Structures are given as C-alpha cells and as structure tokens.
C-alpha cells in the first residue's frame, strides 16, 4: 500500500500552480470539499473534525484563494474543474465523493458533467445549476468597476451581510468575524477574477437528468444568494436525489448550523454503505 503525506496545509503542484489542501483520516473513497466564493478551505473545518475518525477527508483551496495563490491566470469554472481532476490524478484518487458549497457546487457540476466516471457521489450545498442572467452579469461587471475605483472593502462587507441568516449576524458574531477575515484576506484582483468566473459559468440545469450517482442537496432556508427554489429544482431533476433544508441558516449552512448539517452528511454517507461509527450525541461544538 502506498504511503501518502497526511495533515494540514499540504501543497502539491498541479496545472502550473501550487494547490494547498488538507488531507486527513482514512477511507477507500475520499470526500473532497470545495469552498464557496470568496472563502477558503477553512470553512470545512467543523466537518473535517466531525468525520475524520472514519473517513478520508480532503479540503482544497481553489486556485487563487486561500493559500493556493495565483494572481496571473484568468479564472473560470472550466479551469477549476480541470484543476480538481489534475489534483485527483496527482494524489492517485480514482473516484471521490465531491462536496461543494456555492461556487464549489458550480465546480462540482462542471467536473461531473465532463468527467462523470471520477465521482462516486455528489453533495451540493447552497448552490444552483443556472448561469447568470444578462442582468446579473452586468451587475457583476459594475461591481468590478467599483472595486477598481474604491477597493473591495464595501463589496466584502455587503457580501458578508448577505451570506448569513439574520440571527447569525446577531448571535454568532465570532463566526461572522472569522469569515470576514477570510474574505478580506483575498486580494482585490482575486475578488474581481472570482466575479468574472461566476459571470462566465455555463448552465448545468439541462444535464441534471444525466447525473447517475447518489446526490445530496442541502440548502439553508433563508439563503438569499442561491435561493431555496433553485435547490428544489435540482432535486426534482436529479433522479433519486436527497434534499434537506436547514432552518435558521442562510448561504453558509455548514457554518451556521453545523450540528444539523453534519447529521445530514452522516445520514447520507450511511446510505452509501459506509461505516461511520461517530457518536454525534457526545460531540461538542465551539465557535
């Protein structure tokens, strides 16, 4: 059996950039976590802590974000998906369970559509299959122009307000502050490149019926960025999919309600006949 480097903030060169990732736990089919825009792999830490005793868990910093710095490339969902497959090849991962939130879900859709044999299951969190309308694209370009003139601070603050449920903004200020720090760590250039990547993505709704692997869809009830009806549409069009709504959560449901989110993950993984002897009743959460 080949040995592999395990731990946090590992680095591997793929597609001419250094990709930063965490790789912990053991399991035949790893779960690869893809973060949303404009976050980093740290958003999955609670899930990693919860499942690492029984699963192999990999969380990646997507190109340009976190410690996977790239200030030169034009970012796109196609490129992100190609990075994912190259990363899997580098780590000799034939198949993975892919878990993506928001932009991470867009990447998962893109990769599954183009490389369907590489995925054993999909977990789609607070995401959608539609492309930007012309109006949304125009607004993103307007935001990019404003950032060029005034910097990204106003955009970042408004974005943080939108991703959280109103109760989280009031009652989970430590969590909000931590995520704010992650967002503000991005360069102005990467924020703009991320917005361009989002604006340029293709729709994947027309191919939902082609998805043949077990699929879990999770959405916060108060998600303003990828609204609940988009998740409902995906559930209706992905045959055999499982759909769960998380109450009292907005766009970052895995952070706002981690207990509920992890219970849902555990139940879904159990349907894949994976042994997960995790005692969730004794698990303590801290923020």
The continuous run of DSSP H or E covering 242 comes out as: strand 242-246
Residue 277 reports pLDDT greater than 50 = no
Lowest mean pLDDT among 33-42, 71-80, 252-261, 271-280: 271-280
Residue 283 reports pLDDT greater than 60 = no
Checking DSSP bridges between strand 7-14 and strand 17-24, what pairing results, if any?
antiparallel
Residue 273 reports pLDDT greater than 90 = no
Rounded CA-CA distance 190/200 in Å is 15
Predicted pLDDT at 215: 98
For tokens 């796109």, the residue is 76
Calculate the CA dihedral of residues 175, 176, 178, 183 and round it to 10 degrees. 140
Spell out the domains of the chain, with CATH numbers in brackets.
Answer: 7-131+203-282 (3.40.50.1820)
Predicted pLDDT at 3: 62
Query: Which residues fall within 8 angstroms of residue 281, CB to CB, at 6 or more apart?
Result: none
- The answer to whether the beta carbons of residues 132 and 199 sit under 8 Å apart is yes
Over residues 211-243, the pLDDT tens digits come to 999 999 999 999 999 999 999 999 999 999 999
Query: Which residues fall within 8 angstroms of residue 75, CB to CB, at 6 or more apart?
Result: 63, 64, 190, 193, 194, 196, 197
Rounded CA-CA distance 31/215 in Å is 13
- Which whole-number Å values give the CA distances from 219 to 9, 50, 254, 285, in the listed order? 28, 20, 9, 21
pLDDT band at 5 (very low <50, low <70, confident <90, very high): confident
Strand partners, 60: 21, 34
Predicted pLDDT at 106: 98
pLDDT band at 275 (very low <50, low <70, confident <90, very high): very low
Q: Which two tokens stand for residue 178?
A: 């931590």
């Amino acid at each position: 059996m080949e040995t592999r480097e395990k731990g946090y903030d590992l680095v591997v060169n793929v597609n001419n950039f250094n990709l930063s990732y965490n790789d912990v736990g053991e399991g035949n089919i790893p779960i690869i976590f893809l973060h949303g825009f404009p976050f980093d792999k740290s958003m999955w830490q609670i899930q990693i802590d919860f499942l690492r005793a029984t699963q192999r868990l990999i969380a990646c910093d997507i190109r340009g974000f976190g410690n996977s710095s790239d200030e030169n490339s034009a970012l796109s969902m196609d490129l992100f998906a190609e990075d994912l497959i190259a990363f899997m090849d580098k780590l000799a991962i034939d198949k993975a369970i892919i878990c993506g939130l928001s932009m991470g879900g867009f990447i998962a859709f893109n990769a599954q559509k183009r490389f369907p044999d590489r995925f054993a299951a999909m977990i789609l969190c607070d995401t959608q299959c539609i492309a930007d309308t012309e109006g949304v694209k125009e607004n993103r370009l307007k935001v990019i122009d404003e950032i060029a003139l005034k910097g990204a601070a106003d955009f970042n603050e408004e974005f943080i307000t939108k991703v959280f449920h109103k109760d989280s903004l009031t009652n989970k200020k430590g969590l909000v502050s931590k995520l704010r720090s992650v967002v503000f760590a991005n360069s102005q250039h990467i924020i703009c490149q991320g917005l361009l990547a989002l604006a340029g993505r293709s729709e994947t709704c027309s191919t939902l019926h082609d998805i043949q692997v077990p699929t879990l869809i999770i959405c916060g009830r108060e998600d303003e960025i990828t609204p609940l009806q988009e998740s409902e549409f995906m559930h209706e069009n992905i045959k055999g999919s499982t759909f769960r709504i998380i109450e009292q959560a907005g766009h970052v449901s895995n952070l706002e309600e981690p207990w509920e989110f992890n219970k849902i993950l555990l139940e879904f993984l159990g349907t894949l006949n994976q042994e997960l002897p995790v005692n969730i009743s004794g698990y303590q959460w801290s923020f």
